[in-house]
Homo-oligomer: A and B are copies of this chain.
């Protein structure tokens, strides 16, 4: 049996490179030879044991690669095509998918629901930080990469760009909106780009790392606030003549950014939450307007599926969104433990890393 290198979750605190069998595929699957992948903040949650996955699971959910093999029932693709698949891989045929929320794909039978059933790679099945990846429901999930785009140009599509843009989309941004993004990591920066792409005319980014504030400006932020030197709530009210913002995007996953997002919303505004939280949240009575504020709060999991990926690659290819400069560091798959160390500890100004087997 052929073997390959794969980054596996061993135990809390340890993700390590191991030899594993190259995945077998079924009739509806595809086997992808990974050419580039990356590490996500969620992988760091897994590393730290904050988000539980099975020991031995291959981690990673952001694949760029080449079709190595196709299941017998997969039509419309051919071996050798360059493709990406989304971090979320909807089956296409579940009730959730047929309702248009593929990220919540899952068993239709009555076992009680669970959230995020569409997130499979590196969560419930082996992931992309490996030499090969099995893609389930390949016809719904493989998306060919246009020839003129490099691996790194599309590397943000499977998760970062899809998630960040969805924060803007679910905020239902309209022309003339003022939008704030709290936390300018890869997701938040992508949300800045998404807000710009959707017609927000005043975009405010909040973080404390000068490099990130600068990238936010380059991606479309009209104003940036360093929360170490200025109170963001006060600054935002000042920047909006006291009106507050139409849409606030939370891109970190902690009480403070969530609460500040709520505090700066105009009546009738939308809080669009992208964070992965690790504790209960509080809606303070005043910030929530005692329930009388006509507020909307939405949480969104990264949309997946080949059509989403096609559209995001169109955004890249047309020059409308360029997130490739978020890749600050590059590693071989063999160096992935080192990459995790750098990324998890946010050293050396790292934003995203590119991993190549």
Which residues of A pack against B, CB within 8 Å? Answer: 26-28, 72-73, 76, 90-93, 95-104, 106-117, 119, 137, 139-140, 165, 169, 174-178, 194, 197-199, 201-202, 222, 237, 241-244, 253, 266-268, 273-285, 288-301, 305-308, 310-312, 314-315, 317-318, 320
Contacts and interface: CB of A to CB of B under 8 A. Distances in A.
B278 A285 contact: yes
Copies in the complex: 4
Contact of A267 (B92, B93, B113, B266): B113
A310 B108 CA distance: 12
21 contacts: A76-B107, A93-B137, A93-B139, A93-B140, A98-B102, A99-B268, A101-B268, A103-B294, A104-B267, A106-B267, A113-B266, A175-B312, A176-B314, A198-B198, A199-B315, A201-B317, A277-B285, A278-B290, A281-B282, A288-B299, A294-B298
Given A198-B199, A199-B197, A282-B282, A76 B299 contact: no
A298 B253 CA distance: 20
Nearest to A320: B201
A48 to B, nearest CB: 14
A102 B103 CA distance: 18
Given A104-B293, A289-B299, A301-B293, A201 B315 contact: yes
Given A92-B140, A95-B307, A100-B100, 6 more contacts: A76-B107, A115-B289, A169-B174, A169-B175, A275-B291, A277-B288
Contacts of A176: 310-312, 314-315
B91 A294 contact: no
Closest A-B pairs by Cβ, 4 of them: A176-B311, A92-B92, A110-B241, A115-B289
Contacts of A296: 296-298
A285 B290 contact: no
Given A93-B92, A198-B198, A202-B314, A108 B76 contact: yes
A208 B245 CA distance: 41
Q: Which interface residue of A72, A98, A114, A311 has the most chain B CB atoms within 10 A?
A: A98
Nearest to A169: B175
Contact of A175 (B175, B197, B202): B197
A108 to B, nearest CB: 6
Contacts of A73: 26-28, 73
A349 to B, nearest CB: 26
A311 B175 contact: yes
Contact of A297 (B98, B199, B297): B297
Contacts of A92: 91-93, 97-98, 140
Given A76-B107, A283-B281, A291-B273, A115 B27 contact: no
B299 A291 contact: yes
A115 B95 CA distance: 24
